[in-house]
Amino acid sequence: MAERVTSALTEELGRQVAHQLVTAACQRTLHSGQSLAAELTADDKIPLTGEQVDKLLRPEDYLGSTQTFIDRSLAAHRRADD
C-alpha cells in the first residue's frame, strides 16, 4: 500500500523524495507502533490530508484492477493453448 502513496506523491514531490518520505514513515511505524496512516498524516512534509491517506490505503481501491489482470492472463493462456 505504501507504493500507492508514493505514486500519489510523485507528481508533486518527485519520485525519489516521495519514496524517501514514505519509507521513513514506514520505518517510524516499526518504532512508534502507530499506523502508517497516522505516521503519514503527522509528517508535515507529506502534502496529503488524513482523508486522502485513508483513501490511498484502502485495499479495496488498491486492488481494483486485480480481476482485470486475472482475466487478461487467463485469456492469454487460453490463446496459447489454441
Cell of 73: 492472463
Whether the pLDDT of residue 39 is over 90: the answer is yes
Q: Which domains does the chain have, with CATH numbers?
A: 2-81 (1.10.40.30)
Whether the pLDDT of residue 62 is over 80: the answer is no
Where does the pLDDT of residue 77 fall: very low under 50, low under 70, confident under 90, or very high at 90 and above?
Answer: confident
Task: Show Cβ contacts of residue 57 under 8 Å, excluding neighbours closer than 6 positions.
Answer: 1, 4, 5, 36, 37
Residue 48 phi/psi, 5-degree rounding, is: -130, 145
